[in-house]
Amino acid sequence: NAGVTQTPKFRILKIGQSMTLQCTQDMNHNYMYWYRQDPGMGLKLIYYSVGAGITDKGEVPNGYNVSRSTTEDFPLRLELAAPSQTSVYFCASSSSLNSNQPQHFGDGTRLSIL
């Protein structure tokens, strides 16, 4: 039972490079989310999606883009990497059956921008 799978687990980028963080879930969840976690700051929502073809901004969307072409996949793209984007990124998903459903998290991608 895979749940939410994120790749890669670690990555080092140079300033100005671009990359895509991959996220896939096998629970047939409609809702998916991207967070970043910085020390002492908790988790901040970057983008979320309520279904294939529908995405919306969260609290900290600047410098990121997302797409949702299928129910399973929700990639996060960094176009021009900046040192401020050094963080741990988590993808999550939840059922849309009702609003008390918990979110299920992947193990994260640790990204360093140098």
Partner 1 sequence: AQSVTQLGSHVSVSEGALVLLRCNYSSSVPPYLFWYVQYPNQGLQLLLKYTSAATLVKGINGFEAEFKKSETSFHLTKPSAHMSDAAEYFCAVSDRGGGGNKLTFGTGTQLKVEL
Contact residues toward partner 1 (CB under 8 A) are 4, 31, 33, 40-45, 48-50, 56, 58, 90, 92, 94, 96, 99-108
Question: Residue 38 CB, nearest distance to partner 1 (Å)?
Answer: 10
Shortest reach from residue 20's CB to partner 1, in Å: 19
Half-sphere exposure of residue 92: CA atoms within 13 angstroms, side-chain side: 20
* Distance, CA of 73 to CA of 114 (rounded, Å): 28
CB 35 within 8 A of CB 88: no
Minimum separation from the CB atom of position 16 to partner 1 (A): 28
| Residues 31 and 25: beta-carbon distance below 8 Å | no
Select 85 or 109, whichever has its Cβ closest to partner 1.
Answer: 109
